[in-house]
Structure 1
Amino acid sequence: MEASGAAVDDADADVGGVLLDGVVKRYGTQTVLDVPRLHIPHRSFTVLVGPSGCGKSTGLRVVSGLETPDSGTVMINGRDVTTTPPGGRGVSMVFQDFALYPHLTVEQNIAFSLRLEAKHDRRGGPSRAEIARRVTDACEMLGLQPLRRRRPGQLSGGERQRVGVARAIVRRPGVLLLDEPLSALDAQLRQHARAELIRLHRELGNTVILVTHDQLEALSMGTHLVVMKAGRIVQAGSPSDVYRRPAHTFVATFVGSPAMNLHHVDVVSDAQGSRLTAAGMWATVPTAIPLPRVRVGWRPADGTLEPFAAGRPSEPGLSVEGTVDVIEFTGDTAVVHGISQGAAAGRSAHDLPWTVVIPARQPAPAVGERVTVRVPHTHLHLFDPDDGHRLAEGAVG
């Protein structure tokens, strides 16, 4: 996946998938979407993720044809569809509320678009036998056979979600668009539905674009991630790359739960590397950092808790002297929240809280206990303190 300000490459225009080039969408004077360039690979499961109002649903509607960009080009499978109506793009969309017709049965809802096509297509559209076969295939794929005669009001939230997906895939779209399809489901149903959608993508082999504000959904479902903020793409890549090498502090704190720990630190560099310091916190890294101050980040799962030991670390890495403030037991893990010893001693508390995730089988410290947190230097991330962008040597290992 590529996201940049570069011009469209002719090779990209010829390949499958979805390509947005210079796409801008405004509502009045407000720019809600500004995408210099984004290529979503053919047959990928791409997730657009970001907070509410970041433009991800608008992007989906631009791809579907429900919104027309004010400028730029939309290409699907090598074809310019910028001005093509939704029905001619080879896409199907599942809306957040599933938009089922309450007076129709499950099978009638699924067949609705095919019957419209058969009625209005001058070439005849699918036959009645073909419609029946496609509906049966979709029902079998999504476990809806026992529910075919029921109406939406007789279905659970998870069942309605499956009907919405079945109605979309029955048209055999080249691109399947999913706008927050799991947000109305409870936690257990969401987990089951995630697995169903992953399996469905594997069986159909088409391009899927899903919109969500839930970073757990994004990490667990997507083969590609596009992280958005304020109408712009902040980072695009594989889930592991986005999680392990966040391009910006926004990505570092938005993707991953609990969020990455971030601390403002002073820097002193010499030929041997750099020393990073803040109240109750020290780090040494084998890299010269050409800035007097940076933000250092580390994932809660990369920290280890040790009995309190004053002093700076003897090996490269980060050391925090702190006091345990809150412990959350989450089943398989415990989330330990603390505050640096420097802050507890009355010095500046700016950016000094920290979080560590430990296995539930590991004995947890007591609230109020003094501890030392250790993080290997290979798991530290460096960001510009002003603009938040990852430094060139952002992973200092």
Structure 2
Amino acid sequence: MKKVGMCENADKSDHSNGEEPQDADYSHLSSLSYELESLVFARFPRSEYWKLSFVNKRCLALLNSGELYKIRKEIGFKESSVFMLAIGESSWWSFDRELKSRRKLPILPSDSCFSLGDKESLCAGTHLLVSGNEIDGLVLWRYELAKNKWYKGPSMISPRCLFASATCGTSAYVAGGVGAAANSEVYDSAEKYNQNDGSWELLPRMKRRRKLCSGCYMDNRFYVIGGRNEHGELTCGEFFDETTNKWKLIPDMLKDDPVQLAHSPPLVAVANNELYSLEASSNQLKMYLKNTNEWKHLGPVPVRTDGSRGWGIAFKSLGNQLLVVGASSAGNDMAIYTCCPDANTGEVQWRPVDSGRIRLSHFILNCSIMVA
């Protein structure tokens, strides 16, 4: 790093001794330490990190090592990023929390079967995991934020699709789903991914087999909600508590939800440790009342969900906010809204996000939130 002399342009007005002025000598002062420099860089907005790679080789190595993200975690400095794959796009896009800046990710180097097929996505720490079907079977690809690259694997213990998932820090949970075979049985198994060593850990089996289910993390528990099995639609939910290493069933959790033919998995998200649902058949936002196992209606959501039975809609937790992306109520343009629901009053004020410059299809195939 270049040492900057604070008096390089010294005041030349006082020359009473007749000597020419000279730059001050600060060679005895040490340059900014690498530790302090790293702390400063760690507080940069993540959307600006790409600029550090052009500073010098040390900054590039610091970025690629992932050390900045470890420092951010230690000092509690985190930001949310929104990763989206819209229909018609060959690459994923990354957006900052306000969806003001965006960046196209490198093209995922999978085969055509994976690119054209259905996929599930989730985040764990600085890893974006995308599961799908290649010609040789189900695989998992991971995007590492620090290196800005895609890597294949590690595969789940039981590779699956149509599963529920949730994120908790550098860990992620998956449960349910089915295998790659057309006649594959519906799973009741669950696994936990650890970003630190890239490993999958087998969890106890759920109380019910289920596919096309949804997951969330709330009250330090992994919840799995709804879905279907060989007996039909499931209105129950259940949660996994790591302190007891057991699953607990929640009967009739979705008992009031209208059943639509070929509908999407339940659209659920958590904000301020409260669970919210977007009812696809009516475009209504609901809040889960934990004490009574009931849902409270909070009013309409300003996107169209009924026309596609919930498919193509992104409904996600964005810190203390809810994020919804889909078709605008007036037409087929992309609409993006956020809100900070008040759990006490039930008041919801949706704030539109200017999506005119994003120019993606309103049909969102995959959306995941990364906090790092």
- TM-score (normalizing by structure 1): 0.24
- Between Structure 1 and Structure 2, the one with more helix by share is 1
* Higher relative contact order (Cα pairs below 8 Å, separated by 6+ residues): 1
